[in-house]
């Protein structure tokens, strides 16, 4: 890593590590002795990082060091927190994770081992999730006497459904990687040790898109999906017109029509 990259990552705590290669930033949760549990310092740093990724970043891959992606909130900080502090703590997580979901570049989360509680909330804020065969999902908040606070009520319930999320919280039910891909926890499942390479490959593929198209996918699509149908369709028309009117779109369409661009092929 050159001095410029060192300077870019100087404000990251020890719990986060980042490398940048050819426009792809690989950000690693680095508390393996704590199963990558998320403390306040790490969550704040995640928010800052995704709010202002390193210069030249076109996509980000998020993964965990050691045997687990993240076992969730570091519970040691909860025992003395009062109600008022709890509200502000939850809102701080919301703010940090919104910077992932509605950031400027695609984010791919690579999951393995425990993807639990706040770790699952972090994963749900990414745009694409790749699960290794060892990944398992859980929401143990019910047995701990607490409730989710990092956005799961909104993001995870959209991915897997309210009823399934209720079951997980009420009964402690867990899901593995194989069933999780069918239920919406992830979009891909790969073998043990294969997740990071697949995540980087997907990041590179996403980075090849026109910047305005990726902007529409990241910023407009989630809001269209939540809007009432009439407003959503109008927003879609406006975004389609903006995208197709760009010089980048015209150049890419000409390349396709002149047979200078690849045709659609299956990408498993």
Q: Beta partners for 136?
A: 114, 176
Of 226, 230, 181, 188, nearest to 205 by C-alpha is 188
Task: Domain ranges for the chain, please list them.
Answer: 3-207, 211-257
Please give the helix or strand (H or E) that residue 215 lies within, else none.
Answer: helix 211-215
Domains 3-207 and 211-257 share a fold: no
In the CATH hierarchy, which top-level class contains the domain 211-257? mainly alpha
**Contacts with 59 (C-beta within 8 Å, 6 or more apart), sequence order:** 23, 24, 25, 105, 106, 107, 108, 203, 204, 206, 207
DSSP string over 167-202: HHHHH---EEHHHHHHHTS-SEEE-TT-HHHHHHHH
Q: What is the model's pTM?
A: 0.93
The set of catalytic residues is: 121, 141
Indicate the CATH number for domain 3-207: 3.90.226.10
DSSP string over 104-145: SS-EEEEE-SEEETHHHHHHHTSSEEEEETT-EEE-THHHHT
For 208-242, how does the pLDDT look when each residue is reduced to its tens digit (9 = 90+)? 999 999 999 999 999 999 999 999 999 999 999 99
For 94-144, how does the pLDDT look when each residue is reduced to its tens digit (9 = 90+)? 999 999 999 999 999 999 999 999 999 999 999 999 999 999 999 998 888
């Amino acid at each position: 890593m050159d001095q410029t990259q060192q300077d870019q990552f100087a404000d990251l705590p020890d719990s986060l590590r980042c490398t940048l290669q050819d426009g792809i930033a690989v950000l690693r949760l680095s508390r393996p002795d704590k199963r990558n549990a998320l403390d306040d310092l790490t969550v704040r740093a995640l928010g800052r990082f995704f709010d202002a990724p390193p210069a030249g970043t076109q996509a980000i891959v998020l993964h965990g060091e050691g045997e687990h992606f993240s076992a969730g909130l570091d519970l040691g900080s909860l025992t003395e927190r009062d109600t008022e502090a709890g509200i502000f703590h939850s809102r701080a997580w919301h703010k940090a994770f919104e910077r992932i979901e509605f950031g400027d570049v695609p984010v791919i989360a690579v999951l393995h081992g425990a993807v639990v509680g706040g770790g699952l909330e972090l994963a749900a804020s990414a745009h694409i999730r790749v699960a290794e065969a060892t990944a398992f999902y859980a929401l143990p908040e019910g047995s701990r006497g607490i409730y989710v606070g990092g956005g799961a009520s909104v993001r995870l319930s959209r991915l897997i459904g309210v009823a399934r999320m209720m079951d997980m919280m009420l009964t402690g039910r867990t899901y593995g990687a194989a069933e999780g891909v069918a239920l919406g926890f992830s979009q891909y499942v790969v073998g043990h040790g294969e997740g990071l390479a697949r995540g980087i490959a997907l990041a590179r593929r996403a980075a090849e898109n026109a910047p305005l198209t990726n902007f529409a996918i990241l910023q407009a699509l989630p809001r269209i999906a939540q809007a009432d149908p009439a407003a959503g369709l109008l927003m879609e028309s406006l975004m389609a017109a903006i995208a197709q009117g760009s010089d980048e779109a015209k150049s890419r369409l000409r390349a396709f029509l002149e047979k200078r661009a690849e045709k659609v092929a299956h990408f498993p």
